[in-house]
Amino acid sequence: MPELHVIAAGSLLEFVMDAEQISIPVGRVQNIYLPPLSFGEFLTACGEQKIRTYLKNITISKQVPESVPESVHIKCISLLRNYLYLGGMPESIALWLELKKFSKTDEMQQNLLQNYRHDFGKYGRRVNIFLIEKIFNHAPGMVGSKFKYSHIDKQINSRDIKKSLELLIKAHIIHRITATSGSGLSLHAHCNEKVFKILFLDVGLLQNSMGINKETYMSDNLLAVYKGSVAEQYIGQQLLALKKPFEEPSLFFLLAT
């Protein structure tokens, strides 16, 4: 029945596909990537479509930079603080819109993080659960710096850590940002795959796992929170959300020479 379309989805489906080495028929399968809500989508969900449209239409120019009215700037910063605290997970945003209580979203985010850890256990015979959980727990604190296998555990072979990390990347729980010289296009052609950074699944979950949600929310300088890692997570997450849904996400950072 070639006219019949089948949608396959599931918790950590990539773990099963990797372990069972399931072959994908060429030309018969299309992957669709669904990231957390972007800041723009968050604005729409909050009924702030006018602000979203305004930001989208701002002209950025070195010659004549467009000034943003102070009242608009203050409102945007307030909305951004809410987004950074909540992140882009739909359930977190829906709960906030309903109750307007961060205490409830804190609890929900903790449940989400715990559910991920429980899901790892479903594949105990197929993956190294100990290493998967170790990387998952360490990843939020490693955003913004070059990834080093020794920072996960100096006593464990980097090859084993790499294998578990690749599974989390395939499942899009962690995103790889590959180093590139930036000397030309495409960026893939000038990248160094041995040097990379990572992003976590979501900026809200990242902060919740590290216990810094309130620190970010109260900070006068959002760019400086946790040595800039929250800002880097946010920006990377927004760039990934701009990708077309059928385009596999990829990001690069410029490797200083």
| Higher local confidence (pLDDT), 14 or 164 | 164
What pTM was computed for the model? Answer: 0.88
Contacts of 31 (CB under 8 A, 6+ apart): 246, 248
Please name the residue that has the structure tokens 């957390």. Answer: 36
pLDDT band for position 19 (cuts 50, 70, 90)? low
Between 4 and 20, where is the model more confident?
4
* Residue 71 pLDDT: 92
pLDDT in tens, 125-159: 778 889 999 999 999 999 999 999 999 999 999 99
- pLDDT tier at 174, thresholds 50, 70, 90: very high
Residues shown for the chain: 257
Q: Is the pLDDT of residue 15 over 80?
A: no
Residue 15 · residue 171 · CB < 8 Å: yes
**What is the mean pLDDT of the segment spanning 215-240?**
91
pLDDT in tens, 186-205: 888 788 889 999 999 999 99
Q: Is the pLDDT of residue 235 over 70?
A: yes
Mean confidence (pLDDT) of the chain: 89
Identify which of 175, 156, 155 has the alpha carbon closest to the alpha carbon of residue 165. 175
Q: What is the average per-residue pLDDT within 26-33?
A: 80
Q: Cα(11)–Cα(72) distance, rounded to whole angstroms?
A: 40
pLDDT for residue 124? 67
CA 45 from centroid of its chain's CA atoms: 19
| Amino acid type, 252 | F
110-123 pLDDT per residue, tens: 999 999 998 888 77
pLDDT exceeds cutoff 80 at 9: no
| pLDDT per position as a tens digit, 31-85 | 888 899 999 999 999 999 999 999 998 887 766 666 888 999 999 999 999 999 9
Quick one: residue 144, left, alpha or beta (phi over 0 = left, psi -120 to 50 = alpha)?
A: left
Element (H, E) at 199: strand 191-200
Question: In the prediction, which pLDDT does 206 show?
Answer: 96
pLDDT: which is higher, 57 or 185 = 57
Q: Residue 100: what pLDDT? A: 92
Cα separation, 80 vs 84, in Å, equals 6
